[in-house]
Structure 1
Amino acid sequence: MTSPASAPTPLPDDDPARELLVAEPESPDVAHIALAGNIYSILVTGRQTAGRYCLIDMQVPAGGGPPPHRHDFEEMFTLLEGEIDFIFRGETRRVAAGSTVNIPANAPHHFRNNSGRPARMLCMCTPAGQEEYFALCGDPVDSPNSPPPHLSDEQQDQRRRTAADLAPRFATELLPADGK
């Protein structure tokens, strides 16, 4: 990409193989994944955007949220409903519906729904790939309103091991509980 002051470069030709995409959370084509106590609906995949980004609709129940982590890609959240505490480099900031949060690549972070009510947000990752990681680590469910499956302690430990084992493949590092 060029800055406004640099000489313009011609745009590439349109790719007619790429089509308009309308993503609807209840569509049978949308995968719904239970992960870390949340339900993630993969609205737009990297396959659909030539790897440029993915878009995930996140249902986050009270108490939900992932463990501390960091990754080598940008992540942006737009809160649609409720409130979420974002913990960014160890500092907590409560964010309400209507706000957008951008997490820079490689910064330690996580989020937690401490509001006592469900929350919903859209998450865009650029470039894409996070949706593939979620699909490999989580459990498929039927809809965005499905309850997460009840997992035994052994099953939960297995999901954590899978997430840790796959993290490097997806430019992700899981961090200790203190987030450092």
Structure 2
Amino acid sequence: MIPSDDPNRQLTVVRPSSDELRSVALVGDVYTILVSGAQTSGRYCLIDMRIPPGGGPPPHRHDFEELFLVQEGQLLFTFRGEEVVVHAGESVNIPANAPHFFRNVSDRPARMQCMCTPAGQEEYFLQVAVPVESATAEPPTLSESEQAESRERAMRLADQYRTELLI
């Protein structure tokens, strides 16, 4: 039997021009939280990712699923050591616990949306990344000491957010 409707849950409509969206810069990419776990009772989060040429995270793994929907450009995904190029209009599902990373290997910016289920990855990003004004903001240039501090914070908080950095 399907449970009763929960009137405490609200409809979520995301408007890209909203001042309420939070954007952060991490490893040269800009990530904008479109839908948070707080809005979905922890079921999932949705993150808009803008990846410049050469951008992308280091190898990592985590105990939740990720679904990437590539909207612009192309990215090279490395999954358990195997590489696959993914183009605009294509999707990639990363199973929980599998080592992976992606890189923009083109000379043009790439953009994708990432759904993590269950939610939590958006909170990790908010804890370890640098806030920026908007999804289209340029990420700040960090000094070597600021980069080292960011890496240390990411490593220190990774376990709390069910993530393992493989660097």
TM-score tier (shorter): over 0.9
**Deviation digits for residues 116-159 of structure 1, max 9, x if unmatched?**
11000000000000000000000110111100011100000000
After the TM superposition, list the runs of 4 or more consecutive aligned residues in structure 1 that deviate by more than 2 angstroms: none
Which residue matches 2:88? 97
With normalisation by structure 1, the TM-score equals 0.92
* Match 1:51 to one of 32, 42, 51: 42
**Alpha-carbon distance in structure 2 between the residues aligned to 1:26 and 1:77:** 22
Contact 1:70/1:107 (CA < 8 Å) preserved in 2?
Answer: yes
Q: Is 1:85 matched with 2:76?
A: yes
Q: What TM-score, normalized to structure 2?
A: 0.99
Residues 1:27 and 2:23 aligned together: no
Aligned residues: 167
SS across alignment from 1:124: strand
Matches within 5 A, 1:1-180: 10-176=1-167
SS in structure 1 at match of 2:9: coil
Q: CA deviation at 1:52?
A: 0.1
C-alpha separation in 1, matches of 2:162 and 2:133: 28
Tell me the C-alpha RMSD between the 2 structures.
Answer: 0.6
User: Which protein shows a greater Rg?
Assistant: 1
- Structure 1 unaligned blocks of 5 or more: 1-9
- Structure 2's unaligned 5+ residue stretches are none
Sequence identity of aligned pairs in percent? 59
